[in-house]
Amino acid sequence: MKKNDLDRKLRDFVGARTAKSFEEVLGIETVGELLRHYPRRYLKKGELTPFDELEVGDQATVQGRVKKVTLRLLDTKQEVSVTDGWQYKRRKTLTKVVVTDGKHDIELAFFNQPWLGSKLQPGTSALFWGEVTMFRTTMQLKAPGSEVLEDDDLSQEEIERRAKPYRPLYPATSKLNTATIERTIKIVLDTVENVDDPIPPAVRLKHGLLGLHEALRLIHLPTAPKDWEKAQDRLRFEEALVLQTILAQRRAVADALKAVPRERRDGGLLDAFDARLPFKLTSGQAEVCDEVFADMARPHPMHRLLQGEVGSGKTVVALRAMLAVVDAGGQAVLLAPTEVLATQHHKTLTKMLGELAEQGMLGGADQATRVGLLTGSLGAAARRTAMLDAASGAAGIVVGTHALLEDKVQFADLGLVVVDEQHRFGVEQRAALSQKSGDATPHVLVMTATPIPRTVAMTVFGDLSVSTLTELPAGRSPISSSVVPAREKPAWLERAWERVREEVEKGHQAYVVCPRIGDDVKGAADEEGEFADGKEKEEAEGKPRPAISVLEVEEILGEVLAGLRIEVLHGRLPADVKDAVMSRFAAGEIDVLVATTVIEVGVDVPNASVMVVMDADRFGISQLHQLRGRVGRGKVPGLCLLVTDGHPASISRERLTAVASTTDGFELSRIDLEHRREGDVLGVAQSGKRSSLKLLSVLEHEDVIVAAREMAHDLVADDPDLSRHPGLRTIVASALQSDQTEYLEKT
């Protein structure tokens, strides 16, 4: 088989020096990399114009024959021999070319391209394009582009085609300008022959896509907009296909894994639990549970993402799934992102289960199990008990943080792993847990309250099935939110604190959330805060003041809210202190909790009715949405006040207004994504790597992604290792190897 030219080194095609500068400046080493350096946009050249119709100021293209060429050194004004042009390439030079159409002459002035003269010998026919100017009494084209027409008998049609009115403009630098890139690409395009097309012919046919060679030619040398549009369509589809093939292969591998089927059993813990449930499941909850039961009854591991609004009742779904597994003789794990949350979950589950969680205890139900808790900060004795319970199988359910992932923790028969708030868990951790159940892989249910648009789910989480809880349980109180512009309207902030006091006087409680703890020297980022916007702001305004901290606010509130019971909670407190604070807040013994984002997820205190977020502009949209989900969880309506002193016309203000105006998580997530760059959507931004997605936008090209996904599925089903699709196999392998798909691991 002939070697694919795209894999060949650039230096086989162009001069060593050029090849080197491409490598150094753009990191481009191969022909394929060069040809996939697509134009940023296209510049319209002038129309092919007869000489006597040229007008000063026009962008025009002319065709003519060279009559005379002179070369002058600009510093000494000395005229030198045109044929020695290359010698002067470090000097400032002016090449003047007189061109004729037979009747009229015009003059072309080229600066610092002394070698051109030998290319444009008298008699040469060529196309020239540039701006028409007047120099003294002579019509000139200043610093024009040129293309020699080698063949003397070109038809007028062919000349018109070559005079194509568009030129590509490349992402370039001062070291490597767009003209050099254009020239090099043209040389390479003229010489490449063997181009393996990753898209199989049948697929191209079905979707009306250009072949790769043709697409590369048209994206670089278009004659009309439809050329690059067709080329982009094809190359965009290819990007989607590569991505979806990777995901389809992963799915295929996952589908081939063995899992112990955990069939739902009647008359067990699950039924007993349902009987004591104080409310009726929403129809969404019931449906999702059925999907989960069906998945888990199969001999292959479930990989399901459950997304649902804050407060949509994901915990019950998870608990019912876990109970079904316990009924089937297995164990289940619930992984939480923070200790606070793990502890909360442990309490919630224990409480919901009541006597059903009191196995071996007086008053425990016959079929009861135990709910273990395993976090990093447990004392040695508690830890040993928890580990023993997990290893012996006495604990049907174990709740914990990543401490659960340690090697030493063993399970008797791990059947299900539930991951709460997936964005904080990586693929490696999922893998670590998978290894805890011997040959068989446990079923995995991942839960998130940050809804993900369909295409992003398909792209980034392409190897998961997705369930969505769309409705909130009945009787949920609405949350109203307002922006409090502290700088423009200081009185509003005072009013905000009054509102807090009023709520407390009615017997409710409040959260005050700050971006920073404040026990550090110089505003280092919080352990939990994401600071989505802090950076942006720093860039825009030079040095911003540090975000307000928990400790500062505690002090301020000591005066403003004198008489109320105020305490702080943040990630750097010892675990037992955190725990104690949280318990007392839950018990209503604290009125106002001043906290960092440790309370972001999962904390469930229905009596809390108001939340004040300080320096709200320092948080991201979805984070704010998460945060405010902590209020309005009971019968009392929730109020969320977003305090900011940012500029009223800033983007961050616009985002706060968006958060205040809707509680629809999907809508907010869409707004959030629109405010980010594509790379951020896929999580590549942090790694600083170039995304392999140049033309595909996961937000804009849903139809392409859907089509590519189907295609990839069929291809992989038919030819799992792609041995019959070598072009696709190569490009998939290189995408995986180059780390360009690293974001796929980051989920």
The contact set with ligand ADP (CB under 6 A) reads 279, 281-282, 285, 308, 310-316, 449, 473, 604, 633
- Nearest distance, CB of residue 289 and ligand ADP, angstroms: 11
Alpha carbon distance 565, 509 (integer Å): 10
- Nearest distance, CB of residue 473 and ligand ADP, angstroms: 3
Q: Which of residues 600-659 bind Mg ion (CB under 5 A)?
A: 602
- Nearest distance, CB of residue 205 and ligand ADP, angstroms: 46
Nearer to Mg ion, 308 or 515 (CB): 308
Nearer to Mg ion, 165 or 638 (CB): 638
Nearer to ligand ADP, 62 or 449 (CB): 449
User: Whose CB is nearest to ligand ADP?
Assistant: 313
Measured CA distances, 136 to 77, 133, 539 (Å): 18, 10, 49
Question: Contacts with Mg ion: how many residues (CB under 5 A)?
Answer: 1
Nearer to Mg ion, 318 or 561 (CB): 318
Alpha carbon distance 27, 357 (integer Å): 59
* 63 interface partner picked from Mg ion, ligand ADP, none, CB below 5 to 8 A per type: none
* 451 interface partner picked from ligand ADP, Mg ion, none, CB below 5 to 8 A per type: none
On whether the CB atoms of residues 622 and 672 are closer than 8 A, the answer is: yes
User: Within 10 Å of residue 571's Cβ, how many Cβ atoms?
Assistant: 17
- Nearest distance, CB of residue 662 and ligand ADP, angstroms: 17
Contacts of 569 (CB under 8 A, 6+ apart): 340, 578, 581, 582, 585, 593, 594, 595, 596, 598, 599
Q: Which of 698, 664, 652, 430 is nearest to 547 (CA)?
A: 652
* 285 interface partner picked from ligand ADP, Mg ion, none, CB below 5 to 8 A per type: ligand ADP
* 316 interface partner picked from Mg ion, ligand ADP, none, CB below 5 to 8 A per type: ligand ADP
- Coil, strand or helix: which one is 474? coil
- Nearest distance, CB of residue 469 and ligand ADP, angstroms: 7
Residue that is written with structure tokens 């024009």 in the block:
144
- Coil, strand or helix: which one is 487? coil
Nearer to ligand ADP, 314 or 675 (CB): 314
* 604 interface partner picked from Mg ion, ligand ADP, none, CB below 5 to 8 A per type: ligand ADP
Does residue number 168 form part of the binding site for Mg ion (CB under 5 A)?
A: no
Alpha carbon distance 460, 463 (integer Å): 8
Q: Which of residues 550-609 bind Mg ion (CB under 5 A)?
A: 602
Helix or strand (DSSP H, E) at 110 = strand 105-111
> Would you call 203 exposed, middle or buried from its count of C-beta atoms within 10 A (0-12, 13-18, 19+)?
buried
* 312 interface partner picked from Mg ion, ligand ADP, none, CB below 5 to 8 A per type: ligand ADP
Nearer to ligand ADP, 264 or 314 (CB): 314
- Nearest distance, CB of residue 475 and ligand ADP, angstroms: 6
Helix or strand (DSSP H, E) at 385 = helix 380-392
- Nearest distance, CB of residue 352 and ligand ADP, angstroms: 7
Nearer to ligand ADP, 321 or 695 (CB): 321
Nearer to ligand ADP, 285 or 385 (CB): 285
Report which DSSP code applies to 449.
S
* 455 interface partner picked from ligand ADP, Mg ion, none, CB below 5 to 8 A per type: none
Nearer to Mg ion, 437 or 626 (CB): 626
- Nearest distance, CB of residue 472 and ligand ADP, angstroms: 8
Nearer to ligand ADP, 316 or 728 (CB): 316
Q: Which two tokens stand for residue 649?
A: 């016309």
Query: 643: which strand partners?
Result: 484
- Nearest distance, CB of residue 314 and Mg ion, angstroms: 5
* 232 interface partner picked from Mg ion, ligand ADP, none, CB below 5 to 8 A per type: none
Cα 453 to chain centroid, rounded: 11
Q: Are strands 608-613 and 509-513 parallel, antiparallel or unpaired?
A: parallel
Helix or strand (DSSP H, E) at 228 = helix 225-256
Nearer to Mg ion, 595 or 603 (CB): 603
- Nearest distance, CB of residue 181 and ligand ADP, angstroms: 51
- Nearest distance, CB of residue 35 and ligand ADP, angstroms: 48
- Nearest distance, CB of residue 588 and ligand ADP, angstroms: 16
For the sheet with 465-469, list strands across it. 370-374, 395-400, 331-335, 414-420, 443-448, 303-308, 465-469
Q: Which two tokens stand for residue 311?
A: 């407060």
Alpha carbon distance 536, 618 (integer Å): 10
Nearer to ligand ADP, 316 or 643 (CB): 316
* 546 interface partner picked from Mg ion, ligand ADP, none, CB below 5 to 8 A per type: none
* 534 interface partner picked from Mg ion, ligand ADP, none, CB below 5 to 8 A per type: none
Contacts of 433 (CB under 8 A, 6+ apart): 333, 335, 404, 405, 414, 417, 442, 444
Residue that is written with structure tokens 């969880």 in the block:
633
User: Within 10 Å of residue 15's Cβ, how many Cβ atoms?
Assistant: 12
Alpha carbon distance 675, 483 (integer Å): 19
* 423 interface partner picked from Mg ion, ligand ADP, none, CB below 5 to 8 A per type: none
* 39 interface partner picked from ligand ADP, Mg ion, none, CB below 5 to 8 A per type: none
Residue that is written with structure tokens 């869409």 in the block:
670
Amino acid at site 336: A
Interface residues toward Mg ion, by CB under 5 A: 602
